[in-house]
Chains A and B, each alone.
Chain A
């Protein structure tokens, strides 16, 4: 019978830390863009280092998931969305978030490689990558109902929403109020939708089966 190993717990804890670091990099990056004259080198440096630290923890998360014998993931499972037998949709979202993240980092570090406009739009897909990573965390994670993990996820959502609306939206409001209102409404709708989905899905008993955990792993619990 298969039982979870320490590698499985390293995988889960590194995944949560990755999401929090990603949130931190996003928050500092937003502050950097909104306050261009306030310590630009400091904001820029911390933003870059947080982004690279996120990559390091994501690497630990992925390698531990591959080495761990519990979920029996293959290399193709962490490269191709939906290829996995273990919670395919939710694990696949993690793969998509990783690709978006790597694209943003690779086009920005060590120096910006694209012209400003395409780079900016690619960089802004980080907001989408963050939402996708959060869905992956709640959908694939075995710890959605664990108190500490839940508190950290709620803090990450609250921080991201506050910064997005408090800085991005308010900054753009005087020049384009309609667009800003739509974006603010969209951000709030995403958070409300996520909360409703989490309350009726990952936070309910039976999510392991509903999310696509292979039957042999369900029996071993």
Chain B
């Protein structure tokens, strides 16, 4: 009986490389997103970052805008105590 230890299947290797690369790519993009938010929030704050991202999306995709109350709708105001 032949010893099959040490022999590698090129297709299995390629699949392993593909999966590892996909995982690292997803991780890198995710980490990039986290660092983007971290850098933005620590520099200009959540609200300003939010506004800037919305303005960029609006510039890239004309016709989109930040969510607003529907016309004629009554804004709900929550206040504390009387």
Q: Residues on A close to B: CB < 8 A?
A: 3-6, 8-10, 12-14, 16-17, 20-21, 24, 37, 39, 41-42, 45-46, 49-50, 53, 57, 142-143, 146, 148-149
Contact = CB atoms under 8 A, between A and B. Distances in A.
A143 B39 contact: yes
Nearest to B53: A6
Given A6-B49, A6-B56, A53-B28, A42 B35 contact: no
Contacts of B28: 17, 20-21, 53, 57
Contact of A13 (B14, B32, B44, B56): B32
Interface in B1-60: 6, 8, 10, 13-14, 16-17, 20-21, 24-25, 28, 31-36, 38-40, 42-44, 48-49, 52-53, 56
What does DSSP make chain B's interface, helix, strand, loop or mixed?
helix
Contacts of B35: 12-13, 16-17, 143, 148-149
23 contacts: A4-B43, A6-B52, A9-B39, A9-B43, A9-B49, A12-B35, A12-B36, A13-B35, A13-B36, A13-B39, A16-B35, A17-B31, A17-B35, A20-B31, A39-B8, A39-B16, A45-B13, A46-B17, A57-B28, A142-B43, A146-B38, A148-B34, A148-B35
Given A4-B44, A12-B39, A142-B43, A41 B52 contact: no
Contacts of A37: 6
B39 A41 contact: no
A46 B40 contact: no
